[in-house]
Amino acid sequence: MKRPERIAFRPLVRIWSVLPSASVASLPDLIMFSAGLALFYGIVEVARNWLGPFHPQIEISRSLGALPVYAGYSLLRIALAYILSLLFALIYGYIAAYRPRAERFMIPLLDVLQSIPVLSFLPGVMLAMAALFPGRQLGVELGAVLLIFTGQVWNMAFSFYASLKSIPREMREAATIYRFNWWQRLLQIELPYATIGLVWNSMMSVAGAWFFLMACEQFGDFRLPGLGSYLQAAADNGDTRSIFLGIVTMVAVIVLIDQFVWRPVIAWSEKFKMEQVESTSVPTSRVLDFLRRSRGVALFRKRAVRPLREQMVHYFAQQSDVRAESAGGNQTVLWLWRVVGAVALGAIGYAVVRVIMILTGLSASDFRQIGVGLFATWLRVNLTLVLGALWTIPVGVAIGFNPRLARIAQPLAQIAASVPATAVFPVVMLVLIRMGGGLGFGSIVLLLLGTQWYILFNVIAGAMAIPTDLKEAASVFGIRGWERWRKLILPGIFPFLVTGMITASGGAWNVSIVAEYAHLKGHVYSTVGIGAMISAATDAKNFNLLLASTIALAAVVVTTNRLLWRRLYRLAESRFKLES
């Protein structure tokens, strides 16, 4: 009975298995060819704009047709900053991991840089870059890229460094005993081992980058054509339709990046997991399958990648032979490092002296003003954290304890969180000012908008991580109501809550720079705070005050991190960790 059936099927199956791969293979190729053309056109357009003269007051068109172009510009800035960050992170992490002497100060430096609110540099960087390329759009564009770079590079660098440090000893020894050269180590051990960490940190970094980008694009005299300025213009004119379209475009761009970049990358990076056995559920991506099926890609790998790789293999194999024979090269390298170190030290020394000179030139009232501003912002940031925790803890726990609710709420929250808070600031600001609350209260709303998600997501994760048997034990022993919160839920979510609060605190300081001071419809709205001071000093071109406020802000944030958050984090790590 069965046999004829199978035979009857066979030719058809064979045809299917041959035909589609042929026809599908040409479709991807066609698409990719067109994409290449589009890319080329884009580069030419961008070059014309960026190398063109600087427009101090860029006209932002609110037409629907302009939206894709603006989205493209925003995306380009993100992409450039990301590539720059990746390169820098690789180099920084590599040096820190392999040069013990450099490591001693590179890692603490990373820690400080990571906790400084980047947006506090926004005014300074923009002014400097505009001055560096006078009369060219390129200056402010690079300024934006540089700023995004500073916002996203540190955690990537640290991730790469930490990965390199944790490569298993025997794996390294295998590489040594089999005489891997520098290139082979990088390509076959170091990069693969670090990939998973780099991918996750890249995703975090790029999400953060949108936040900084929006702030840059909306920044006073230096605003840039992009989604951020589009939304700002729309809000300025009270144009609800454009506001709506802008936000939809924003969400669409983020979803597309997720689908076309992150998902394929995550699916691809699966093979770099250090697991001993294959996991059962493996992330997949249509786009990745599509690329893998493309004949053009396959041909490119065969004709270009593989021969190139082979060349590199031979080149470096010879190099390492040569190096083994003459061990003299080390001396030059050592001197090179000494010179680099000396130059860096000199530059730092000069900068410190300059800063001290500027700071001593400030008046007592300036310092008092800075102190008051810092205190006001500090209160606001911490009030925001408390408010955020107050609403997110019950909601997050409810979501985390209820899988059905989680299925609905989590994607919604993710989309809401993916819209960078700075993108909607102009809109929220507009509403707040219409309501007549003023920025003192309004800035707290803005801070909350920018930071509550970190807390919410961590609380949800924490609630989900509480083991079911603990929950059941609690109910068996009749632990209910407040007791249940005190004995089970709060200790359970504590480490997660602390992590969320730390991230939120960093975010809140950043937001405060743009939330305390706003140009809207020709008026300046502001409230007391260090963020407002920084923005006002920029507007007034008072560079000394700008510098002093920025440094003071950075100092306070770093100190708070050290004294408060790091201790809480340790406590959470050691005491409240639910070990499985």
Q: For another protein, which stretch binds (CB under 8 A), given 268-276, 380-388, 435-443, 494-502?
A: 268-276
Nearest 5°: the CA angle 83, 85, 90 is 100
Question: Is residue 392 packed enough to be buried (19+ CB in 10 Å), middle (13-18) or exposed (0-12)?
Answer: buried
Structural contact between residues 497 and 567, judged by C-beta atoms closer than 8 angstroms: no
String of contacts with another protein for each residue 188-217, x by CB under 8 A: xx--x-------------------------
Using the contact rule CB under 8 A, the part of the chain among 173-181, 229-237, 382-390, 407-415 near another protein is 173-181
Residue closer to another protein (CB basis): 195 or 499: 195
Q: What is the dihedral of CA 443, 210, 192, 94, to 10 degrees?
A: -70
Number of helices followed by number of strands (H, E) in the chain: 25, 2
- Is 170 a binder of another protein (CB under 8 A)? yes
C-beta of 320 vs 410, nearer to another protein? 320
Enter the DSSP assignment of 99.
-
Which two three-digit tokens encode residue 199?
């991918």
**Could you tell me which stretch among 65-73, 308-316, 331-339, 499-507 binds another protein (CB under 8 A)?**
308-316
Question: What is the total count of residues that contact another protein (CB under 8 A)?
Answer: 33
If one asks whether residue 406 binds another protein (CB under 8 A), the answer comes out as: no
Question: In angstroms, what is the minimal distance from the CB of 579 to another protein?
Answer: 12
Q: Does 579 bind another protein (CB under 8 A)?
A: no
The reply on whether position 291 binds another protein by CB under 8 A is no
CB closer to another protein, 319 vs 559: 319
Closest distance between another protein and the C-beta of residue 173, in Å? 6
Phi, psi of 525 (to 5 degrees): -110, 135
Helix axes 543-560, 364-401, angle to 10 degrees: 40
Nearer to another protein, 237 or 320 (CB): 320
Q: Which is nearer to another protein, 178 or 482 (CB)?
A: 178
575 counts as binding another protein under rule CB under 8 A:
yes
Who's near 506: CB < 8 A, 6+ residues apart?
Answer: 115, 117, 557
317 part of the interface to another protein, by CB under 8 A? yes
Structure tokens of 446? Answer: 């803005």
In terms of Cα–Cα distance, which of 429, 425, 441, 444 is closest to 382? 444
Sequence-distant (6+) residues with CB within 8 A of 265 are 199
Stretch that binds another protein, among 197-205, 210-218, 312-320, 528-536 (CB under 8 A): 312-320
Query: What part of residues 36-55 is at the interface with another protein (CB under 8 A)?
Result: none
Residue 113: CB partners within 8 Å, gap ≥ 6?
150, 154
Token pair for residue 209? 């980058």
Minimum Å gap between C-beta 178 and another protein is: 4
Tell which one of 168, 329, 341, 411 touches another protein (CB under 8 A): 168
* Part in contact with another protein (CB under 8 A); list of ranges 57-65, 125-133, 172-180, 368-376: 172-180
Q: What are phi and psi of 136, to 5 degrees?
A: -120, 145
